[in-house]
Structure 1
Amino acid sequence: MAKRLIPAFNRILVEKIVPPSKTTAGILLPEKTSKLNYGKVVAVGFGLRDKSGNQIPVAVKEGETVLLPEYGGTEVKLGDKEYHLYREDDILGTLHQN
């Protein structure tokens, strides 16, 4: 049976994207290009509630690519895959294709 983690409150489960260290032609890329820290959102929590009890949903959605802080998050291992759990306010932004 496969396990699926549903984050609590305003937490977001992210699978980090590791950029390639060389091109398909075999050209090595400089280390600076691998410094971008981003990942794909795998699951999101249901959000928080305000003082009146109204639900405040999480701003990002499953499948989006997000920019992550250099440090932080909680490492989570599910099966043979490694994920990271972040609070919504730790996410720096979302990346969109033009």
Structure 2
Amino acid sequence: QNAEFQDALTREWRQREQNALTESRRLAGQVEALIERVDRGREDNLRLTGELALARAQNATYQRNLQSQLVVWLARNARRCSLGLGLLTRP
């Protein structure tokens, strides 16, 4: 009877050990998948950071060009307005 009890304990222990090993492998796979996701996230973050920097630089250039065009347009129209006012105020 003692030997049967010992065998039952041994079988139960081996089954628990096998279950623990299976669970450990499953969790290791999950960890590996999460590491891959984090790595892809980092790569995406670096790529998007670069794209954002480029977009900001392009936007700054566009704003400078727009400001220059506005200054030219205002100067041209101010001259036209003063010429027009001069014509209107002539006797």
TM range (shorter): under 0.3
Bigger Rg, structure 1 or 2: 2
Q: Larger relative CO (CA 8 A, sep 6+): 1 or 2?
A: 1
**TM-score normalised by the chain length of structure 1:** 0.15
* Structure whose residues are more often strand by fraction: 1
* Structure whose residues are more often helix by fraction: 2
